[in-house]
Chain A
Amino acid sequence: MARRLESILDECLERMLGGESIEACLNAYPEQTSELEPLLRTSHVFIRKSMAIQPAPEFKARVYSRLQAMFYAKEEKAERRARIPIWRRGWALATTAILGFLLIGGGTIAASAHALPDEPLYPVKLTGEQVRLILTFSDVGEAKLHIQFAERRADEMLEMASQGKNGKISMLTEQITNHLDKAYMMVGIQIAGEGESRVLAPAPPSSSEAETYSEGKVAGELETLLRQSHAKSLATLRNALDKAPEELKPVLQQAIEGIGEDYDETISIVGNGSSQ
């Protein structure tokens, strides 16, 4: 069976990028020459022209200096940290967490557990989550927490929709995305969702878009956003499930079910709103 032209073109491009001439490749495929040659010449022109795009040397040097400064600052911090014995480091973190707990108040933290994004205790809830992330030292542990927090955001999204508070929903989809992205980065697994414009997770709306929604953007658009976010979040989780370490799989499986149900119900509520 004859090879498809896109594969032949690809092979020739690979050879051209490796330094071979156009003619060398055309000689290898005499039957396709008439179709192949103009495409290879076009590619050659494109590559040559695009190579003229180069960063200004002073810009490149400036960025390098900035990175170098960041690198040394990071190194210095690590050295300072290394000078503190491990047992003291653990205590320092624990003390910080306990102090935070006392300052905010254990009761307040407990009370914030069910806070929604428009409630005063919600920032306390998020701070509590950050503290848990800081106190978690393994990648898998951190990934688990991010997945758990993504589920929480999905629960909140559903609750907000149930209460007719659609303004914060797009912000919550963004947070779900962020948590799933981070979980993904922590376990270093790759997503291979076909035809996705964004690799790791859905492209959520910006905060300005969120405000637009809160100002009364039609529910139909919100429903579309939710459907897209739903599909991509689930694709992210399913792809992750294929490649995740065994210990993370039950957490991912649970998240797929939980987040999926939350999205379904939220879409149903928002959809009913838009059809009314």
Chain B
Amino acid sequence: MSIEKDIVSRAIKGDGEAFAQLYEEHFDRIYRYVYLKVGNQTEAEDLTQEIFVKVLEAIGSYRWRNLPFKSWLFRIAHNRVIDYFRKQGKVEKMALEDDVTLVSDSNPASTAERELEIEELIKKVEKLTPAQREVISLRFGSELSTMEVAKTLGKSTGTVKVLQYNATVALRKMFSGGK
């Protein structure tokens, strides 16, 4: 049994320590994914919290059959983000906030620079199609494998590769054009 499988199996049986390990392993990735999707720190925090509450509630019913744990986890996040956009009556579009607070840094100039970088990044992501944005957020933001992204989104790996390629080409144009 792999280490991950062992931890997940223990978490399913209600082992708090195992759940804490999963939390530590995946929290930042889920947050990053949500942030890249909604482009807003406050919303990203609320949604990430809701996603983990849902994970805690549902983990007892998770089965290994067909779906890797990471894909199951990100599927919950994916569905929650879709619900968020639906309930807000929004098309999937970023709501950039002015005061983006990201990684804390002792150097205020460096923090401000990083915040600006992130803001620009989010603006570029916003220009991708929703499907491209989804794939890029999962693949680059959360470092999921192509297979995991495919399982999360219910798409074939071939489709994910094409979306990833097209998104990278589009980003390349944006980066080189300074847009």
Q: In the complex, are the beta carbons of A55 and B45 less than 8 A apart?
A: yes
Q: How far is the CB of B71 from chain A (nearest CB, A)?
A: 8
Cα(A38)–Cα(B161), bound, Å: 17
- Give the chain A neighbours of B140 by CB distance below 8 A: 43, 46-47, 50
The reply to whether A191 and B154 contact each other, CB–CB distance below 8 Å, is: yes
**Cβ contact of A63, chosen from B19, B52, B103, B141, cutoff 8 A:** B52
Contact A52 B117, CB 8 Å, known A75-B14, A195-B155: yes
18 contacts between A and B (CB under 8 A): A10-B165, A39-B169, A43-B171, A47-B140, A50-B121, A50-B140, A52-B103, A53-B36, A57-B104, A59-B45, A60-B28, A188-B67, A190-B65, A192-B154, A193-B154, A194-B155, A198-B82, A208-B89
- Given A203-B86, A243-B66, the answer on whether A53 and B53 have CB atoms closer than 8 Å is no
Q: Once the chains bind, are A67 and B161 in contact (CB under 8 Å)? A: no
Tell me how far the C-beta of B9 lies from the nearest C-beta in chain A, rounded to whole angstroms: 14
Q: Which of A9, A17, A63, A185 has the most CB of B within 10 A?
A: A63
How far does the alpha carbon of A216 sit from the alpha carbon of B166 in the complex, in Å?
A: 41
Q: Could you say which residues of chain B place their CB within 8 Å of the CB of A7?
A: 161
Minimum CB distance partner of A10 in chain B: B161
Question: Using Cβ atoms and an 8 Å threshold, which residues of chain B touch A203?
Answer: 82-83, 86
Q: How far is it, in angstroms, between the C-alpha of A204 and the C-alpha of B86 when the chains are bound?
A: 8
The yes or no answer to B132 lying at the interface (CB within 8 A) is no
- Interface residues, chain A, CB within 8 Å of chain B? 5-7, 9-10, 13-14, 17, 38-39, 42-43, 45-47, 49-57, 59-60, 63-64, 66-68, 70-72, 74-75, 78, 139, 185-186, 188-200, 203-206, 208-209, 243
A-side contacts of B96, CB under 8 Å: none
How many residues in B have their beta carbons less than 8 Å from beta carbons of A? Answer: 66
**Assembled-state Cα–Cα distance A221/B1 (Å):** 51
Task: Enumerate chain A residues within 8 angstroms of B83, measured Cβ to Cβ.
Answer: 203
- Is A67 within 8 A of B66, CB to CB? no
Q: With contacts A54-B31, A60-B27, A186-B61 known, is A38 near B131, CB below 8 A?
A: no
Bound-state CA distance A5–B104 (Å) is 39
Interface bits B19-58 vs A (CB < 8 Å: 1, else 0): 1100100011001100110000000010011001100101
Closest chain A residue, CB of each to CB of B124:
A46
Asked whether any CB of chain A lies closer than 8 Å to the CB of B179, the reply is: no
Instruction: Return the chain A residue nearest B163 by Cβ.
Output: A6
Given the known interface contacts A52-B117, A188-B66, the answer about A6 and B162 at a Cβ–Cβ threshold of 8 Å is yes
The reply to whether A53 and B35 contact each other, CB–CB distance below 8 Å, is yes
Structural contact, A49 and B118, CB atoms closer than 8 A: yes
Per CB-CB distance, the 8 closest pairs between chain A and chain B, nearest first, are A188-B63, A6-B165, A190-B66, A42-B172, A199-B154, A55-B31, A6-B161, A54-B103
Additional 14 contacts, C-beta under 8 A, given A71-B19, A197-B130: A6-B161, A50-B141, A54-B31, A54-B103, A60-B27, A60-B28, A67-B53, A78-B14, A190-B151, A192-B151, A194-B159, A199-B152, A199-B154, A208-B89
* Interchain CA distance A74-B145 in the complex, whole Å: 33
When chains A and B are docked, how far (Å) is the Cα of A114 from the Cα of B155?
A: 39
* Residue from the list B48, B63, B164, B171 in contact with A13, Cβ < 8 A: B164
Residues in A whose Cβ lies below 8 Å from that of B48: 55, 63
Set of chain B residues within 8 Å of A68, measured between Cβ atoms? 16
Provide the residues of chain B in CB contact with A196, threshold 8 Å.
153-155
Minimum C-beta distance from B33 to chain A (A) = 9
Given A43-B140, A55-B27, does the pair A139, B61 have CB atoms closer than 8 Å? yes
A10 touches B31 (CB 8 A): no
Complex Cα spacing A45 to B14, Å:
40
Q: How far is the CA of A110 from the CA of B104 in the complex (A)?
A: 61
CB <8 Å contact, A63 and B49: yes
Q: Fill in one digit per residue for B131-166: 1 if any A CB lies within 8 Å of its CB, else 0.
A: 100001001110101100001111110010110110
A64 to B25, CA, bound (A): 13
